[in-house]
Amino acid sequence: MHESAELRTGVVAAALELFSAQGFDQTSVEQIAKAAGVSRSTFFRQFGGKEDVVFADHEVLLEQLREFLAEGHDDPWGAVCAASESVFAHFAHDPELARRRYQIVREVPVLREREIITVFRYERLFDEYLRGALPGVDPLDAVGFAALVTAVHNHVLRQLLRGRKKVPLSTLQTALADVRRRYGVAGEAATAPDDMVVAVFPRSMPIAEVSRRLQSELD
C-alpha cells in the first residue's frame, strides 16, 4: 500500500474511534491528529475537515471508478456492475470499520446529508458513463439503470453494515445479475432462450414504426 494510503487509513481509523467514544461534535481536529500521530497541517492537507475524514474512502473510490470506467469496456452495463462490486468489496474487506462509520453517520444529521449527496455522486457517475459509452441510449434507460444499480448496491451493503454476519460479494452479484435481466442487458451467456425476441420487418419500414410495433408486441 502506498504511504499516503496507509496514512489516510490510519487517520480515518483514529477519527472514527474518537467519534464513537466521545461524539462527532465533541471531537476536534487536533485530537484526531494527535491520536493518529500526524500534524494538524498534515491532517488538513490530507482531508480538509472532520466530515471529509468520514467520507475519505468514498472520495478515493469515486476517483478510482472514474478511471476504471474511462478505460473503455465492451459491455458498459457490465462495467457499471463491476464498479458497484468493487465498492462493496472495499467496505466488506474491513466490515468493522465500515460498521463504525455507518453508526456515526446515522447519529449525525450533517453526515447523513453528506451521505445522500455521496450516493448521488455514484449514481451520476454511472449515468454519465452510460450516456457516453452508449451513444443514442435513451436517457431514461441510462439514469434508471444507474439508479437501480446504486439502490441495489446500497440495500446489500446495509445488510452488511446493520448486522454482524458476513455478506458475501456473491449476494450483490446475484442482485445485479437480476438488474441486468430486468433491463434486457444480461449478456448472451446469461440470457435464457425464452428471453430472446426475434422480429422481421421490411427494410423500408421507418425505425419509429419498427419500435412502435415491437413495443406493442412486447406489451
Q: DSSP secondary-structure letter at 193?
A: G
**102 vs 104: CA distance, rounded Å:** 5
On whether the CB atoms of residues 183 and 145 are closer than 8 A, the answer is yes
On whether the CB atoms of residues 94 and 1 are closer than 8 A, the answer is no
Q: Count of alpha carbons within 13 Å of 94, Cβ hemisphere only?
A: 9
Burial class (CB in 10 A: 0-12, 13-18, 19+), 8: buried
In 10 A of CB 9, how many CB atoms? 16
Between 49 and 120, the more confident residue is 120
3-22 and 95-107 helices cross at what angle (nearest 10)?
Answer: 50
pLDDT in tens, 44-58: 888 888 899 999 999
Q: DSSP secondary-structure letter at 194?
A: G
For residue 1, what pLDDT is reported?
Answer: 43
**56 vs 162: CA distance, rounded Å:** 21
Identify the band that residue 208 occupies on the pLDDT scale cut at 50, 70 and 90.
Answer: confident
Q: Is the pLDDT of residue 192 over 60?
A: no
Give the phi and the psi of residue 59 in degrees, each rounded to 5: -65, -45
pTM of the predicted model, to two decimals?
Answer: 0.81
Helices marked H in the chain — which ranges?
Answer: 3-22, 29-36, 40-46, 50-54, 56-70, 76-93, 95-107, 109-133, 139-162, 169-182, 207-218
Least reliable range by pLDDT among 8-17, 76-85, 124-133, 180-189 = 180-189
Between 213 and 89, the more confident residue is 89
Tell me which amino acid residue 12 is: V
Q: Averaged over 143-155, what is the pLDDT?
A: 97
Least reliable range by pLDDT among 61-65, 155-159, 176-180, 197-201 = 197-201
Identify the band that residue 103 occupies on the pLDDT scale cut at 50, 70 and 90.
Answer: very high
pLDDT in tens, 196-206: 677 887 887 77
Q: Averaged over 97-119, what is the pLDDT?
A: 94
Between 171 and 201, the more confident residue is 171
How many residues are given for the chain? 219
Cell numbers placing 17: 474511534
Q: Chain-wide mean pLDDT for the chain?
A: 89
Residues with Cβ within 8 Å of residue 29, at least 6 apart in sequence: 40, 43, 44, 49, 50
Percent of the chain's residues with pLDDT above 90: 66
**82 vs 96: CA distance, rounded Å:** 23
